[in-house]
Structure 1
Amino acid sequence: MTDQPATRAAPPPESSPGLRRTIGRKVLLLFVVGDILGAGIYALTGKVAAEVGGAIWVPFLCAFALAALTATAYAELVGRFPRAAGAALYAHRAFRSPFLTFLVAFTVMMSGITSASAAARAFGGDYLAEFVTVPTLLAAWFFLLVITAVNVIGISESVKVNVVLTVVEASGLVVILAIGAWALLHGDGDPQRAVQLDPEGTPWVAVLGATALAFYALLGFEDSVNLAEECRRPRRDFPRALFGGLAVAGVIYLGVAFTSSMLVDTETLAGSTGPLLEVVKVAGLTFPPKLFAAVALLAVTNTALINMIMASRLVYGMSNEGIVPRVLGRVHPGRQTPYVAIAFTVLIALTLVATGDLAGLADTTVLLLLLVFAVVNVSVLVLRRTPPEDDERSPEDEDADTQPFRAPTWAPVLGAVASLVLASPLTGRDGSVYLRAGVLLAVGVLLYLVNRWLVGRPARR
């Protein structure tokens, strides 16, 4: 860090309007819940069962513990710096390194796009097969273009769509919970199977690997910080929305995991790309499988929509920080959406869908975000050495005098350690995932060098 006064990157042109502050606490809470619930729990439950046996809830519980630790760091940082750049901004403020800032921002952006691409690939699985057989790539491309259209229309409209899809996808999980409760009351299923760890190898290694896999279903809580610049009262509302959303999603996931393993044998779950559909088919409480498949498809849609919204807002924030060319920060004068950033991110997603499969994209997403989480947890500790006067306060924030949330020191410390452990080969992650992530990061380094050559050294703040 330098003792000289920080130099703020040049503001966007006056002709470029700012993002509209339209998001309140209740909508933000639904956004967090909807961001977590989605493609992961609907598609990966069986894969987790293949790792540990019947006790699927154990890896999900471990994954939620890690998410809660890292959420404390995000809650503290968004209160101090309520801007759209998220993790990239926090790393920039903590380490004052333009290269690290770009690398973190690029990693987060790519994780969002790979997650949306994985959801697009999942769209053509067993759930869609209940209605029609369509080539996976064609369905994925069409799927992404529809998501992009909603994103371009506007953040208010996008969040409203998210709210509707959140209610739909949550209702599908409530159906699974109701099926579980009915089964317990009528003595159906095998509750003992749901508490048995039956891994092929060493139990703790299997649980660790399954936790890393289950973590994909938990991703999304961190995305909401990128909406800080479009939130009415970020300092007050974000901590409540983050922890409230995690708590709601946690209870739902644990119940769904228990019900799935209680009613469906591990082999059947592990072999299905629509594991919750298997639960519906064997349930004593009748529910139309096609209707549930439709709900699952909407849940996948919600995952993709939120990730593409967040990726485009991150690119917009990077542009305002002077890390990428200013053209990516252009805002549509009518819709007030970052239309150039949206176009940029969807082009990457369309390419990824054509070159990667569901499993590889999902695991790459987890690995990239775990590395980012480690940086964020360290950043919050470093930034505690900076004076409060360096915090940013939006004039639109009615609670600008509210004291920001402060995480207990042990939480980000454990969060950083846990993130690095889950990112390590100890989880048994396939080497091709590390290779794919390495290539993506290498592309990021190349882009940074090209941008520096074209526009010069980024300003230090």
Structure 2
Amino acid sequence: MLRRLPVAPPADSAGLKRVLGLGSLIALGVGGTIGAGLFSLTGIAAGSNAGPAVVISFALAAVACAFAGLCYGELAGMIPAAGSAYVYAYAALGELAGWVIGWDLVLEYTVGASAVSVSWARYMRSLLDGWGIHLAPRLMASPFEVVGMADGQPVHGIANLPAVFIIVAISVLLMRGIAGSARMNMLVVIIKLTVIAAVIGFGLPYIKMANYTPFIPPNTGTFGEYGLSGILRAAGTVFFAYLGFDAISTVAQETRNPGRDMPIGLMASLAICTAVYIAFSFVLTGLVNYHAMAGDAAPVATAIDQTPFGWLKAAVKLGIICGFLSVILVMLLGQSRVFFAMARDGLLPPLFGRTHAGWGTPVGCHLFFMVVTGGLAAFLPIEQLAHMTSIGTLLAFVIVCVGVIVLRRREPDRPRVFRVPGGAVIPLAGIASCLVMMVSLDGLTWLRLVGWLAIGMVVYGTYGMRHSRLATTRGKDMPAMRHTP
């Protein structure tokens, strides 16, 4: 018999404190979404795939997010519990589907946080160098990275200690309580939005209209190099820049009014981020010809050179550093809440399903991921694995959209605080759009996903399947037991 979680709101907050309002949810969504991807992926996608039509790519990615976001809103209102897509898949499609998407989300957040912490460390090194503070290069790079030459031999790094530092610092902040973390995130979001607005506002008068011609460069004959296929490939690439808005649903059990605020928070944060991305990419491709962006490690700096405002470079660096901080915070928050929900359901050891008596946070989850994420950031060149996060999120979105359709058929009379309009049209559109972008991603990204899910099936088969609370209760009152600390 298929094991499914009961579709019911939690009887209590499972030890988590309900302290978040609508403003905090929107700030978490914007903070987790607008990060380095805006500054780096825009140039990569424009130079290698879409040209000025990268604006369309951002819009396409946003449409796919919007379809999924509406579906998230409906399920969050029905099941306002920690765990996001994991809980929704578990309730709609059964335990195996829940495990797959939960395991997938854990990788998404872990690898994403590691990659962003490594990038944060690089920008901090650049900032410190500008202040005349020079740290030992070997202590700012992984053992797989060459930092110099000695006696004709390459010198490799030892460990990326700044990346570890920021992971530890934010983990400690999250352990101390969600309210303080939300306030810090709000401040960081205000700073980085101000910086982005400055780049857009000061850059607009210096746009060269010739850079928009041709707006959609003709395809070179290779899939993904300009033309329609290039726009699709770029949409899949820049989808990484939208990661984070879905993390709002991981804090449903810490939200004061989740049924009302979760759908609004999801869609409002997505709308803000989409407007920022489209405006920013429009200005960037107008300041610099897309051909010049191919292979440019700092396309935003190149664009700012087209204006007389040299101080903008320092402002952008500040915006990027702040962007990294909020993205790391939201990813570490999301991964801990998914792991927490999986442990509460018996699929992972009970240590991860407990909350601190005073702080009201899953300290065991935070400590575990502080070590794992910090270790990845210290010893691996994690940037290549960052592509994994895009396909992982797309898969989660597909499952959520499928879950809406399934639950409408299985439990049509279940109360829904928010209901996606249009019947099955929007969920089906979400499934189709996400699958199209998944197909456009490269084969290596797919292999990584399959490999990680294979590892997950081994863990599920050896532990989760036998310790699942649905397996051990055998029909007892699952909602009460599951949500009582």
TM-score normalised over the length of structure 2: 0.83
Match of 1:397 in 2: none
Taking a change above 3 Å as real, the CA distance of residues 194 and 233 of structure 1, as seen in their structure-2 partners, is farther
Preserved contact between residue 115 and residue 377 of structure 2 (Cα < 8 Å): yes
Match of 2:318 in 1: 294
Match of 1:154 in 2: 177
Q: Does 2:337 correspond to 1:313?
A: yes
Whole-angstrom distance in 2 between the partners of 1:319 and 1:194: 53
Structure 1 residue identity aligned to 2:80: P
Equivalence map 1:24-423=2 (5 Å): 24-49=21-46, 50-96=48-94, 98-125=95-122, 128-132=125-129, 134=137, 135-136=140-141, 137-184=160-207, 190-193=210-213, 195-197=215-217, 200=220, 201-202=222-223, 203-354=227-378, 356-387=380-411, 403-408=417-422, 409-423=424-438
Show structure 2 runs of 5+ residues with no match.
142-159, 479-485
Whole-angstrom distance in 1 between the partners of 2:210 and 2:126: 28
Q: Could you say what the CA RMSD is over the residues aligned between the two structures, in angstroms?
A: 2.8
Aligned match for 2:447, one of 429, 432, 435? 435
Preserved contact between residue 69 and residue 266 of structure 2 (Cα < 8 Å): yes
How far does residue 20 in structure 1 lie from its aligned partner after superposition? Answer: 0.5
Taking a change above 3 Å as real, the CA distance of residues 357 and 437 of structure 1, as seen in their structure-2 partners, is farther
Whole-angstrom distance in 2 between the partners of 1:411 and 1:382: 14
- Partner of 1:282, secondary structure, is coil
Preserved contact between residue 193 and residue 262 of structure 1 (Cα < 8 Å): no
Aligned match for 1:451, one of 447, 463, 475? 463
How far does residue 420 in structure 1 lie from its aligned partner after superposition? Answer: 1.7
Structure 1 residue identity aligned to 2:254: E
Preserved contact between residue 125 and residue 274 of structure 1 (Cα < 8 Å): no
Instruction: State the Cα deviation string for residues 167-210 of structure 1 (Å, max 9, x = none).
Output: 111112111111233325xxx57453583435543522211111
Taking a change above 3 Å as real, the CA distance of residues 412 and 456 of structure 1, as seen in their structure-2 partners, is closer
Instruction: State the Cα deviation string for residues 338-367 of structure 1 (Å, max 9, x = none).
Output: 100111222332343356545422210001
How far does residue 254 in structure 1 lie from its aligned partner after superposition? Answer: 0.6
Preserved contact between residue 177 and residue 361 of structure 2 (Cα < 8 Å): yes
Instruction: State the Cα deviation string for residues 264-313 of structure 1 (Å, max 9, x = none).
Output: 23344333333323323332345342232122111111111111011101
Whole-angstrom distance in 1 between the partners of 2:4 and 2:377: 45
Taking a change above 3 Å as real, the CA distance of residues 6 and 456 of structure 1, as seen in their structure-2 partners, is closer
Whole-angstrom distance in 2 between the partners of 1:357 and 1:268: 26
Whole-angstrom distance in 1 between the partners of 2:465 and 2:57: 45
Preserved contact between residue 52 and residue 198 of structure 1 (Cα < 8 Å): no
Structure 2 residue identity aligned to 1:43: S
- Partner of 1:55, secondary structure, is helix
Structure 2 residue identity aligned to 1:449: G
How far does residue 76 in structure 1 lie from its aligned partner after superposition? Answer: 0.6
Whole-angstrom distance in 1 between the partners of 2:50 and 2:272: 24
Taking a change above 3 Å as real, the CA distance of residues 195 and 447 of structure 1, as seen in their structure-2 partners, is same
Preserved contact between residue 5 and residue 90 of structure 2 (Cα < 8 Å): no
Whole-angstrom distance in 2 between the partners of 1:291 and 1:42: 12
How far does residue 334 in structure 1 lie from its aligned partner after superposition? Answer: 1.6
Structure 1 residue identity aligned to 2:174: N
Whole-angstrom distance in 1 between the partners of 2:379 and 2:455: 15
Whole-angstrom distance in 2 between the partners of 1:299 and 1:451: 38
How many residues are treated as equivalent by the alignment? 440
Match of 2:482 in 1: none
Q: Structure 1 stretches (4+) deviating beyond 6 angstroms? A: 4-9
Match of 2:147 in 1: none
TM-score normalised over the length of structure 1: 0.87
Structure 2 residue identity aligned to 1:230: E
Identity among equivalent pairs (%): 25
How far does residue 108 in structure 1 lie from its aligned partner after superposition? Answer: 1.0
Whole-angstrom distance in 2 between the partners of 1:63 and 1:205: 14
Taking a change above 3 Å as real, the CA distance of residues 288 and 453 of structure 1, as seen in their structure-2 partners, is closer
Match of 2:153 in 1: none
Structure 2 residue identity aligned to 1:114: V
Whole-angstrom distance in 2 between the partners of 1:317 and 1:390: 23
